């Protein structure tokens, strides 16, 4: 039987052996939600960068640059970290260079995995199907907030665990922790998260609409996958 584990913070990634696993990277608020939204609106590829300058330099090569630090769009970048910035006709067939506080760093820590895919509530069922029909064991890596564990990424890991519970076994306690939390939260995730430190931080930035959208399951039926050249596509 395949197994599933959950890495609750990128700072714990050295404890996990990913070489035979499909790794799902999740940063619900808001990097991976943005990426999924962008692909659903016709973007050709997204190249993640952990370094801000390297990301910005891609503008001269015709890329749309997306940059976020501490929840805010970075000066000089074309787009920030709201999914609503990735819904226009103008991104169709474009390439994006993307850097965020936590999400792109998490992708970097997953390098070496058999496969790396992008998860969010927006494409939850598609990710579940991808994992169910794939042959690899699974590791979900939660981007967290500057290394610390956060609730919303943990809830996503729990949703995956809950939906795969009859098909895949938990390696460790972290998937069980996530699953319990998801089952507590699933009927009203917005309310459940209202005390979360990250949600409070983002509410101060006035992005309640983003948060509600990012917590809505199954808006899109796509699974972005990292290819051998370091870019995400949905082929």
Determine contact, residues 151/196, Cβ cutoff 8 Å: yes
In angstroms, give the least distance from the CB of 39 to a copy of itself.
28
181: contact with a copy of itself by CB under 8 A: yes
11: contact with a copy of itself by CB under 8 A: yes
37: contact with a copy of itself by CB under 8 A: no
Determine contact, residues 79/86, Cβ cutoff 8 Å: yes
196: contact with a copy of itself by CB under 8 A: yes
| Binding-site member from 195, 206, 229, 235 for a copy of itself (CB under 8 A) | 195
| Binding-site member from 111, 132, 184, 205 for a copy of itself (CB under 8 A) | 184
Spatial neighbors of 159 by CB under 8 A, at least 6 apart, are: 121, 124, 182, 186, 217
In angstroms, give the least distance from the CB of 3 to a copy of itself.
11
With contacts defined by CB under 8 A, name the span among 25-33, 90-98, 146-154, 225-233 that binds a copy of itself. Answer: 146-154
In angstroms, give the least distance from the CB of 24 to a copy of itself.
18
Give the max Cα distance, the chain.
Answer: 49
Q: Which is nearer to a copy of itself, 197 or 208 (CB)?
A: 197
173: contact with a copy of itself by CB under 8 A: yes
In angstroms, give the least distance from the CB of 171 to a copy of itself.
7
Q: Which is nearer to a copy of itself, 80 or 175 (CB)?
A: 175
177: contact with a copy of itself by CB under 8 A: yes
Q: Alpha-carbon distance 141 to 57, whole Å?
A: 28
| Binding-site member from 73, 94, 136, 149 for a copy of itself (CB under 8 A) | 149
Q: Alpha-carbon distance 63 to 95, whole Å?
A: 5
| Binding-site member from 72, 92, 148, 167 for a copy of itself (CB under 8 A) | 148
165: contact with a copy of itself by CB under 8 A: no
Binding site for a copy of itself (CB under 8 A): 8-9, 11-12, 14-15, 145-151, 154, 170-174, 176-177, 180-181, 184, 195-198
């Amino acid at each position: 039987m395949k197994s599933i584990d959950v890495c609750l913070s990128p700072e714990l990634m050295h404890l996990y052996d990913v070489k035979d696993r499909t790794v799902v990277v999740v940063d619900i608020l808001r990097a991976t939600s943005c990426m999924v939204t962008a692909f659903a609106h016709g973007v050709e590829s997204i190249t993640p960068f952990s370094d801000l300058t390297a990301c910005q330099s891609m503008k001269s090569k015709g890329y749309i640059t997306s940059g976020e630090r501490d929840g805010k769009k970075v000066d000089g970048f074309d787009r920030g970290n709201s999914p609503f910035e990735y819904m226009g006709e103008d991104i169709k067939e474009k390439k994006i260079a993307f850097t965020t506080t936590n999400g792109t760093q998490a992708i970097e820590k997953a390098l070496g995995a058999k496969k790396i895919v992008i998860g969010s509530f927006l494409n939850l069922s598609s990710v579940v199907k991808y994992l169910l029909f794939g042959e690899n064991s699974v590791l979900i890596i939660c981007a967290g907030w500057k290394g610390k564990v956060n609730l919303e990424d943990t809830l996503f890991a729990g949703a995956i665990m809950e939906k795969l519970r009859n098909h895949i076994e938990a390696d460790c306690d972290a998937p069980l922790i996530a699953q319990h939390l998801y089952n507590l939260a699933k009927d009203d995730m917005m309310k459940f998260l209202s005390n979360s430190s990250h949600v409070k931080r983002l509410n101060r930035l006035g992005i309640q609409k983003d948060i509600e959208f990012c917590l809505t399951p199954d808006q899109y039926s796509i699974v972005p996958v990292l290819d051998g050249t370091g870019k995400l596509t949905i082929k």
